Chain A
Amino acid sequence: ETGVTQSPTHLIKTRGQQVTLRCSSQSGHNTVSWYQQALGQGPQFIFQYYREEENGRGNFPPRFSGLQFPNYSSELNVNALELDDSALYLCASSLEFQGVHEQYFGPGTRLTVT
């Protein structure tokens, strides 16, 4: 069984640039959630995708967007990067979005915006 993977591991971008982060779900999981975790804070929910459709969104501006592909892998896109976007971005996959299912986290992408 393959775990959740994310790429890249680390990334440095300049303010105003755009970035794409990638996530591969655990085998058999059709739901992916993305989180932003600032240093010393808990994860903040960005959005969730279920079978290629957005299924819930947190309090993030529209410049945060995503995609889920037929194989359930996912992308997080952030446009017009701001300094405050510097954080660890975590993706988590789960079996279904309804019902209670444990979320399995990837190792995260550390984004630094300068």
Chain B
Amino acid sequence: GQNIDQPTEMTATEGAIVQINCTYQTSGFNGLFWYQQHAGEAPTFLSYNVLDGLEEKGRFSSFLSRSKGYSYLLLKELQMKDSASYLCAAMDSNYQLIWGAGTKLIIKP
């Protein structure tokens, strides 16, 4: 079957660094997406990885290991506005997105 696992909730301090992990199992694989979703709003695109390694984009970085079925999203210099849910989604062989339940990130001052 197809499955995405990520922690339900994480807490971090403003200015710190946090890593949100995601493991996936899909029928075929066409890449791994990370989306941010603030409460009551639609998801917005953060990153896409299809090759192994780290992709850096400002304060956010995303890592992929295809052999391990593993990805993480790294958020640096945390700001209060980063409080949101972070959704991991893997694209299967039919180019359909399989979504995790999301990780709720709570930032404390």
A interface with B by C-beta (< 8 Å): 33, 35, 40-45, 48, 56, 58, 90, 97-100, 102-108
Contact (Cβ within 8 A) B42 A100: no
Min CB distance A57 to B, Å, is: 10
Contacts of B72 in A (CB 8 A): none
Residue contacts A-B, CB under 8 angstroms, 8 given: A41-B101, A42-B4, A43-B99, A45-B97, A48-B96, A100-B50, A100-B95, A106-B42
Contacts of B91 in A (CB 8 A): 100
Min CB distance B20 to A, Å, is: 13
Contact of B43 among A48, A99, A105 (CB under 8 A): A105
- Mostly, the A contact residues are loop
CA distance A99 to B50 in the complex (A): 12
Max chain A CB contacts within 10 Å: which of B43, B89, B91?
Answer: B43
